[in-house]
Structure 1
Amino acid sequence: MGSSGNGLAERDTILLFYKEFEQDKFFKNDRYLKRMLKPLYNLTHHRQKKTGFAVSFELLRRALQKHGWKVRVNDYALARKCPHHPVGLVGFPTLLEDWTLPNPALLGPSLYDHPMLAPRLMQDSRYRTYLVLAQWTYDMFHPHYGDTCARWHAGIDTDEWIDTSSHAKDIDFLIYDKIRWNHDELALELLEPIREILRGRGLKVETVRYKYHDHLTYRRLLERSRAMVFLCEHETQGLAYQEALASNVPVLAWDNGYWLDPLWRQVSDTMIPASSVPFFSEDCGERFSDLAGFEPSLTRFLERMPLTRPRTYVLENLSMLQSAEIYARQYFSMIS
């Protein structure tokens, strides 16, 4: 086995760099105070304690380590010592603001929501590949970043998210409310009517809202649920609904077809195609595009539910081994 730089094994060690988004809220530099107080605050509530970016990064690290690679996180000294060894940069764009290391770099996932936010990013000779998640994000980035784009997915830990199909079920549909924009309006126009339709069919319904639960609460709800209605404008991966699939809970998903982040108007003259369930097949469940399509989709979903194989889909398409191998292949391709 060769080495890059000063004796670092070429295909043995992966150097990852991750930085959470932080900003001052009430006064200058209060983000550092919030960072110190956050562990104490997290003891006082049962909401989500990690961002989706942090969860995705942790899944990447675990997948790589589980399948044999040594992973060093934010080891600037080692990267500086071995300037020809690749680095992986993950998280928020703030990580790149003061990035001075010369190492060849694999960017993403995460970072920018749209390539027009950093149109000249890949002109930096250090930056070799830009990882995106969903096919729709690849289609959005590729015209700007070209063949430097590559797809990756976070692997779902199916040892953690076990098959719950044999558990006692007392919830017919768990509604996962991840509506992020115009929530009050969409709650009235979409969420509440869906609740009424389900209850009108004699189905028992529970609702969980994004950011207002922790993983233990969510896992226990999945154990009790026969199916899920997933409400979200779009997803680049969609860990929450994929955790449901891994639990063998089929999903009926609102998939409006477009990227509804208000940012789209700043970067495009036309609406950008997107999906709320970018990793999905008939084995997982059904989709509907609007409220008018919900009842027909619900009928098909209930008829087909015994034939769905959501956990099998995750095992075949979203495994941690696949995730690790895709990342490692892109990472080590930068070693000449």
Structure 2
Amino acid sequence: MQTPENGKTILLFFRKAGPSDKRSFSRIAKDAIRPIYKRLVNGQSQTGFDVSFTMLVEALRSTGHDVRVNDYETAERHPDYPVGLVGSTALLDGWTLPNPALLGPSLHDHPGMARDLFADGRFRKLLVLSDWTMDLYESHYPGRCIKWFAGFDIDEWPDRAKRPKTIDFILYDKIRWAQHVAQPLFVQPILAALESRGLSVRVLRYGKHHHSRYLQSLDEARALLFLCEHETQGLAYQEALASNIPVLAWDRGFWGDPIWEWFGDRVKASSVPYFSPDCGMTFAKLDEFDETLDAFMSRIADFAPRRFVAERLSREESARIYRDAYFGIA
């Protein structure tokens, strides 16, 4: 078995989010190790948070690292060896290990929730998931933040654009707040615009469908219409990009969580933080949708989203960023 001294071992500590999660750490360790991303993409239902952690573990292991999850014994024997803390803030409660720690991704929703985070000398750096979260967290923790992303092995994702299509769009509704307002004033007019053009659509509501249903829909659809106030990374729409399915996204430009009002000015944000003209198109307001939709449909055969994922969101680069950050804190 590899040991920390040879520079290949990475000690990760993981705890799922959940305010009432009082399980033992031994149980948490089992829950952390159990998820396998290949099972997920074949239909296992998990949150994006769980998937992101599993993608991190797989990326590091695929590049030759011995990744150990919640291995307190090894960390205690080597108090100067770095550790990575990933997950909910409950992981920080009562944290006793003296090891230098790389924090994130995840943990706090806003840096204002932990203004004195780095007053603890064990905590060295914080991973954030996108440019807009980098701007937000760096404004509170200058010099402490590193941008990281969960990376894709493009070979594990089929090119679904080549498969026979039976619908034009998946409308992926991930609107989190004010659904009672969003449905009649925003979603329904968008559906009407699609119908008026004779475009077929399948609506999937976030949290109301199984992941296997989403993957099946990517097989059958020509494009994804992604409606979400903001994303820190956005694994669902990136799974479409990896599958070579172009994305038309609502990207209004600011953070939707009302928690921002507790801490100051409205936060600039994106619903598609990793995106380029190869991936598709975006619109900010409802009155821009018709024109953007027509432009998108006129170019639908020209987009190359799979290439974007291979070049910008690779598993190898994800592993490199984390590895350099992890050993850099030692």
Q: TM-score, normalised on structure 2? A: 0.91
Where does residue 180 of structure 1 map in the other structure?
176
Q: Check conservation: 2:102, 2:125, Cα contact below 8 A.
A: yes
Where does residue 219 of structure 2 map in the other structure?
223
Q: Check conservation: 1:48, 1:211, Cα contact below 8 A.
A: no
**Runs of 4+ residues deviating >3 angstroms:** none
The whole-number CA distance in structure 1 between the counterparts of 2:231 and 2:329 is 29
> 306, 311, 324: which one pairs with 1:311?
306
Counterpart code for 2:48: G
**Are 1:71 and 2:67 matched, yes or no?**
yes
Percentage of pairs with the same residue: 49
**Are 1:52 and 2:58 matched, yes or no?**
no
Where does residue 123 of structure 1 map in the other structure?
119
In the superposition, relative to structure 1, how do residues 130 and 172 fare at CA in structure 2: closer, same or farther (>3 Å)?
A: same
Q: Could you list the per-position Cα deviations for residues 21-66 of structure 1 after superposition, in whole angstroms to 9, with x for gaps in the alignment?
A: 23349xxx6x78xx99x9xxxxxxxx97322211110000011101
**Are 1:330 and 2:325 matched, yes or no?**
yes
Where does residue 15 of structure 2 map in the other structure?
19
**Are 1:283 and 2:292 matched, yes or no?**
no
The whole-number CA distance in structure 1 between the counterparts of 2:67 and 2:146 is 21
**Are 1:97 and 2:97 matched, yes or no?**
no
Gaps of 5+ in 2: 32-42
The whole-number CA distance in structure 2 between the counterparts of 1:187 and 1:161 is 32
Where does residue 155 of structure 1 map in the other structure?
151
The whole-number CA distance in structure 2 between the counterparts of 1:258 and 1:239 is 19
The whole-number CA distance in structure 2 between the counterparts of 1:97 and 1:237 is 26
Where does residue 253 of structure 1 map in the other structure?
249
Q: Could you list the per-position Cα deviations for residues 74-104 of structure 1 after superposition, in whole angstroms to 9, with x for gaps in the alignment?
A: 0111111111110000011110011110101
**Are 1:237 and 2:196 matched, yes or no?**
no
The whole-number CA distance in structure 1 between the counterparts of 2:114 and 2:90 is 12
The whole-number CA distance in structure 1 between the counterparts of 2:323 and 2:96 is 23
Q: Check conservation: 1:254, 1:289, Cα contact below 8 A.
A: yes
1:10 CA drift (Å) = 4.2
Counterpart code for 1:114: H
Secondary structure at 2:160 match in 1: coil
The whole-number CA distance in structure 2 between the counterparts of 1:96 and 1:10 is 28
The whole-number CA distance in structure 2 between the counterparts of 1:304 and 1:199 is 19
Where does residue 44 of structure 1 map in the other structure?
none
Secondary structure at 2:171 match in 1: strand
Where does residue 39 of structure 2 map in the other structure?
none
The whole-number CA distance in structure 2 between the counterparts of 1:161 and 1:80 is 39
Where does residue 187 of structure 2 map in the other structure?
191
1:215 CA drift (Å) = 2.2
Q: TM-score, normalised on structure 1? A: 0.90
**Are 1:266 and 2:300 matched, yes or no?**
no
Secondary structure at 1:293 match in 2: helix
In the superposition, relative to structure 1, how do residues 273 and 48 fare at CA in structure 2: closer, same or farther (>3 Å)?
A: farther
Gaps of 5+ in 1: 39-46
The whole-number CA distance in structure 2 between the counterparts of 1:197 and 1:312 is 30
1:67 CA drift (Å) = 1.2
The whole-number CA distance in structure 2 between the counterparts of 1:54 and 1:267 is 28
> 105, 117, 130: which one pairs with 1:109?
105
Q: CA RMSD in A?
A: 2.0
The whole-number CA distance in structure 1 between the counterparts of 2:177 and 2:207 is 14
Where does residue 43 of structure 1 map in the other structure?
none
Secondary structure at 1:147 match in 2: coil
In the superposition, relative to structure 1, how do residues 24 and 326 fare at CA in structure 2: closer, same or farther (>3 Å)?
A: closer
The whole-number CA distance in structure 2 between the counterparts of 1:62 and 1:189 is 42
Secondary structure at 1:263 match in 2: helix
1:135 CA drift (Å) = 0.2
1:185 CA drift (Å) = 1.2
Secondary structure at 1:173 match in 2: strand
